[in-house]
Structure 1
């Protein structure tokens, strides 16, 4: 009787690429730890750095903090929507005022927003849903 090989005969599909943007590096490290088992994660500590990375790489999802020095996450996500419409956008914020919620829907077309402190389970679940929506929007 022959034993089955431990490795799959077909190569694994490439992991979805996620861009995480936050000026707090410790938070980025926590997010990467939670997401890296399932996704290829890149990080940026400012919206300017994130825009540079976006020009050189393709991502299915971007998760950005709202309040950062040198530019806020919402404005960054609005610009990202214009250039990369299929990339799903998630905003992380400490509070969501009604006018910000309206702008997030109308201008940034956010997939979702996460309130701080972010539950890592929620982060992983929202990211998985956003990747699925990205894939559907590209196929559709």
Structure 2
């Protein structure tokens, strides 16, 4: 008989990797947070400005940001993140990836991945898990 995997969520002594999720739509933010909080220390922000404050207070391994938000778009925010926090992995969530946006995501933001809406929670969780590993490798080889 195999045992069920033990979740770190209930054990406050286990340090979990910090993930920042940015979206102006509270229901989406809550859904993403719920999907990720079983494995990660999740901080949410409803704007790029709020996210920038969070980045000054805590080190994150991955940031997941929506593209279209009032007061600034997610792509520009992720470009700034790349400049200030080069090892932090960046994931963009968008409704449509235009060719010019794809080019900018590679050249300027160096995205780890992008997710098209509607996002499947299993895809989000898998990509964030992979992004955390990519962060750890980048830090180790730096």
Offset of 1:56 from its aligned partner?
1.1
Q: Which residue is equivalent to 1:88?
A: 89
Offset of 1:12 from its aligned partner?
5.6
Offset of 1:82 from its aligned partner?
0.2
Q: Which residue is equivalent to 2:31?
A: 30
Q: Which residue is equivalent to 1:123?
A: 124
Q: Distance in 2 between matches of 1:33 and 1:57?
A: 20
Q: Which residue is equivalent to 1:63?
A: 64
Moved over 3 A (4+): none
Q: Distance in 2 between matches of 1:12 and 1:102?
A: 42
Q: Which residue is equivalent to 2:106?
A: 105
Q: Distance in 2 between matches of 1:61 and 1:21?
A: 11
Where structure 2 has 5 or more consecutive residues not aligned to the other structure, the ranges are 1-11
Q: Distance in 2 between matches of 1:21 and 1:127?
A: 14
1:67-107 deviations in Å (ceiling 9; x for gaps): 00000000000000000000000000000000000000000
Secondary structure of the residue aligned to 1:43 is strand
Question: RMSD between aligned alpha carbons?
Answer: 1.1
Aligned residues: 130
